[in-house]
Amino acid sequence: MNRRAFLQSTGALGLLAASPALAESAAETKKPPFLDLKMLGKRNQNRSTVVCQGGMVCSSQPLATQAGIDILKAGGNCVDAAIATNAVLGAVEAASNGIGGDLFAILWHQKDQKLYALNASGRAPYGWNLDKAAELGLTEIPQQSPLSWSVPGCVSGWGTLSERFGSKPLSDLLASAIHYARDGFPLSPIISTYFAWPSGMAPHMAEVYHPGGHMPKYGEVFKNPLLANSLEAIAKDGPAAFYEGWIAEAIVKKSQELGGFMAMEDLRDHTATWVEPVSSRYRGYDVWEIPPNGQGIAVLQILNMLEHFDIGSLEPNSAEHLHLFIEAKKLAYEDRAKYYADPEFADVPTEWLISKEYAAQRVKLIDPLLASTKVGHGDPKLDSDTVYLCCADGQGNMISFIQSNYAGYGSTICPDGVGFPIQNRGESFSLDPNHRNKLEPHKRPFHTIIPAFLTKDEKPVMAFGVMGGDFQPQGHCQVLMNMLDFGMSPQQAGDQPRVEHTGSSFPSGSTMEAGGALVFEHHFPDQVKQTLAAMGHEIRDTVDAMGGYQAIWRTDDPLIYYGGSDPRKDGCAMGY
């Protein structure tokens, strides 16, 4: 499964030109202020690394980044800044994230000299199971339906992080988001394209995002007073306002109206979970990820195989370099499809999957000259993927933070009166009764969103992440190779063009056919593609921007932060 923004999955980009109703809005972009839509997808070069000492925030929208900086300057720490930044992102970039979605975070706590990891993903309703899916005649879970809903974990993540590590009340942290939701903000270039969908494609959220039937455009001021009301309730009463109050009642009512199974009990019983992050060493650095139900350990599996090759001696993004990376990815993703699931319900052999011994076995399957077309999963001895942001403060605390609705606007269903859509994360469950990731009551589905962290000699080095659903482990590995193998700066590592291997098997039950295919961003030479094709890879047309990356690199004595922010998004790195 290949996660794309809602407007791409529905073909809305093409509709900008094809639909008379939308063609007018496309033509209007040629009036001041100018915006060439075709150029947006080709931005992946030429920014400077931001360097500072007092604190730093990197996110995909400048207003959100600034909100985090304001919190830091007011004496808040990186956890406070991350919550404030995320809350604003939910208001200004609602297609990608919001309080209807889930959250994961990895935190370096300077006083404790320790990494902490939080899994704030939600679970399936108690009343939703395989028998009911069979009664409905389903072979997969539909996206634009409350059947794809799992309990939104975002607000529980805010509360859990704030209670344990924050220094300011939620009322302070949500103030900027409430302001932008109620008083409005001008739509930034890339985010404005997320509004370009015909209202009929998502009737249960059109009232919120196409007010009065009008599609907001680049530079227009957009307001979401219903979201402001929801955020004000959370600011006043904390997470209980979301999971027990009128917001919860609205969620349940909409689910019942549309044939879903969400109940008040599901929301009341939700909890975020502190987990132990897992790691593997690559080129002398320890790369940290959150264990399943997410896909973070795929990064560790890929890197464990790549360390058997002298990647740094190759030309960056050469056919030889990309071939080795792609073949390792194929192997890791087959294990992902087979084994990654909620460990509270399934036997997930995480330690074995990320071991060096296992990687040494699997890497033997990589032919350095020929692409594989059929790949199997490993066989353990068993008893039986957004917005990404990172923040750092003057005390040395750092947080790697990711939050998502899954597909663009999630399920595309907004409960009445709340101002936000509910995620479609439950779509990733398998309906195969023999699969580890099968649908079960109160179970967390397989997740694509993954924050990451880098340490060296047990000291913090970098908080980083790459958005993009199924693509995220591939993005993590590409930016790490750019830095650790090729010596690029945090900004340069994100500026490089990216390649994606598509078509791998997926934990919902789909399987890879004929080795999958490669798609490329702009700026890859034709010779690289031709060489990869000669090695047996299927090459498909060039695509626009892949993923969205943010990173903060740290050095000590004195403490200095280096920030990188993806030019594929509207955002930026800021520090002081």
Query: What residues form DSSP beta bridges with 502?
Result: 517
Asked, for residue 449, whether it belongs to a domain, the answer is no
Judge if 415 and 479 occupy the same domain.
Answer: no
What is the rounded CA–CA span in Å between residue 195 and residue 504? 30
Q: pLDDT at position 41, please?
A: 62
Judge if 233 and 300 occupy the same domain.
Answer: no
Place of tokens 């805010």: 158
Q: pLDDT at position 18, please?
A: 38
At residue 9, does pLDDT exceed 60?
A: no
| Paired tokens of 472 | 């995220």
Out of 10, 386, 412, 448, which one is annotated catalytic? 386
Provide the residue range defining the domain that includes 330: 275-385+465-575
Judge if 379 and 397 occupy the same domain.
Answer: no
Judge if 248 and 285 occupy the same domain.
Answer: no
Q: Calculate what percentage of the chain has a pLDDT beyond 90.
A: 83
Judge if 370 and 423 occupy the same domain.
Answer: no
Asked, for residue 365, whether it belongs to a domain, the answer is yes
Judge if 154 and 283 occupy the same domain.
Answer: no
Judge if 307 and 212 occupy the same domain.
Answer: no
What is the number of domains present in the chain? 2
At residue 515, does pLDDT exceed 70?
A: yes
Domain end position, chosen among 401, 428, 455: 428
Domain end position, chosen among 428, 454, 487: 428
Q: Quick one: how far is CA 449 from the chain centroid?
A: 4
Q: What is the mean pLDDT of residues 411-440?
A: 96
Judge if 380 and 502 occupy the same domain.
Answer: yes
Judge if 151 and 70 occupy the same domain.
Answer: yes
Q: Are 330 and 362 in contact (CB under 8 A)?
A: no
Q: Which residue has the higher pLDDT, 182 or 504?
A: 182
Asked, for residue 49, whether it belongs to a domain, the answer is no
Specify the CATH number for the domain of residue 523: 1.10.246.130
- 328 CB burial (10 A radius; 0-12, 13-18, 19+): buried
Asked, for residue 240, whether it belongs to a domain, the answer is yes
Question: CA of 91: how far to CAs of 180, 186, 308, 436, in Å?
Answer: 7, 12, 44, 35
Main-chain dihedrals φ then ψ at residue 281, nearest 5 degrees: -90, 135
Q: pLDDT at position 544, please?
A: 76
Domain end position, chosen among 405, 428, 451: 428
Q: Which pLDDT tens digit goes with each residue over 330-382? A: 999 999 999 999 999 999 999 999 999 999 999 999 999 999 887 777 665 54
Q: pLDDT at position 46, please?
A: 66
Asked, for residue 138, whether it belongs to a domain, the answer is yes
Q: Is 50 strand, coil or helix?
A: strand
Judge if 251 and 302 occupy the same domain.
Answer: no
Asked, for residue 361, whether it belongs to a domain, the answer is yes
The answer to whether 160 is a known catalytic residue is no
Q: Is 531 strand, coil or helix?
A: helix
Q: Which pLDDT tens digit goes with each residue over 112-133? A: 999 999 999 999 999 999 999 9
Query: What residues form DSSP beta bridges with 287?
Result: 280, 454
- 0.85 cut: is pTM over it? yes
Q: Give me the helix-helix angle, 175-183 and 225-237, nearest 10°.
A: 160
Judge if 422 and 533 occupy the same domain.
Answer: no
Asked, for residue 1, whether it belongs to a domain, the answer is no
Asked, for residue 561, whether it belongs to a domain, the answer is yes
The pLDDT-based confidence of 517 (bands split at 50, 70, 90) is very high
What is the rounded CA–CA span in Å between residue 258 and residue 302? 41
Q: What is the mean pLDDT of residues 429-457?
A: 96
At residue 43, does pLDDT exceed 90?
A: no
At residue 509, does pLDDT exceed 80?
A: no
Q: Which pLDDT tens digit goes with each residue over 127-163? A: 999 999 999 999 999 999 999 999 999 999 999 999 9
What is the rounded CA–CA span in Å between residue 548 and residue 526? 24
At residue 398, does pLDDT exceed 70?
A: yes
| Paired tokens of 297 | 């350990």
Q: pLDDT at position 24, please?
A: 40
Judge if 116 and 240 occupy the same domain.
Answer: yes
